[in-house]
Amino acid sequence: MKIRVKFRKYGNLKFIGHLDVQRFFQKAVRRAGIDVAYTAGFSPHQIMSFAAPLGVGLESNGEYMDMEVNTFTGSQDMVNRLNAACAEGIEVLSAKVLPEGAGNAMASVAAAGYTVQFREGRAPEGNWQKGILAFCDSPHIYVTKETKKNTLEVDLRPGIFSIEISGDVIYMLIDASSSGNIKPGAVIAAYLASENQTLKENALLITREDTYTNLGTAEAPRFVSLDAVGEDR
């Protein structure tokens, strides 16, 4: 049986990396007494996978982990037991049973929703709210991306699915797939570059609000939370 666990990451634990989060949950699952399944072979390990890695320093309200279990005592019981085994900074929000044939969390990721705010005193000049909305409505947003071998020109615009601004809070739904992953800071930096401004160091407060899969097509996407694929039991 495959279970999808949704959790939030906040506070000081936002500074631990993806591999540390994996090790954290491996230990938490053992402490919680979850009957997790293990691989066969000489060096068995827990059958567990995580969705798109979160950047160090970012908080999130929508992180996901899939794991296989031999026995299952119920969604709420698993949530309670995992939370009792977790330190402050990780909170398990749900544990849902996935249907047969469901793809794993990492392979299912198509998009992520972020809220972005400028830290006090680090917002750009002028009416940046109007400017960002107009910029993201452009047909193309080309940026230069450095790789180990060469320099590429990449168009960010196809991966910006929607953007809204309320007061000083930006919400953007952007590509988070393995093939087209976009960082919210890259969108803001590209806008500022178009205005001959630069993104100040440590200027942004970024929270990943949720992670989504696409149940539609590339031409007509239908994004739903990874949490919506499973069911409580």
The tens digit of pLDDT for each residue in 106-149 reads: 889 999 999 999 999 898 888 999 999 999 999 999 988 877 77
Residue-range domain boundaries for the chain: 2-107, 108-228
The CATH class that applies to domain 2-107 reads: alpha beta
The model's confidence at residue 218, banded by pLDDT at 50, 70 and 90, is confident
The tens digit of pLDDT for each residue in 150-205 reads: 888 889 999 999 999 999 999 999 999 988 889 999 999 999 999 999 888 889 99
- The string of DSSP letters for the chain reads -EEEEEEEE-GGGGGS-HHHHHHHHHHHHHHHT--B-B--SSS--B-EEESSPPPTT-EEEEEEEEEEBS----HHHHHHHHHHHSPTTEEEEEEEEPPTTPPPHHHH--EEEEEEEEPTT-PPSS-HHHHHHHHHTSS--EEEEE-SS-EEEEE-GGGEEEEEEETTEEEEEEE-STTT---HHHHHHHHHHHTT--PPTT-EEEEEEEEEEESS-SSS--EEEGGGSSB--
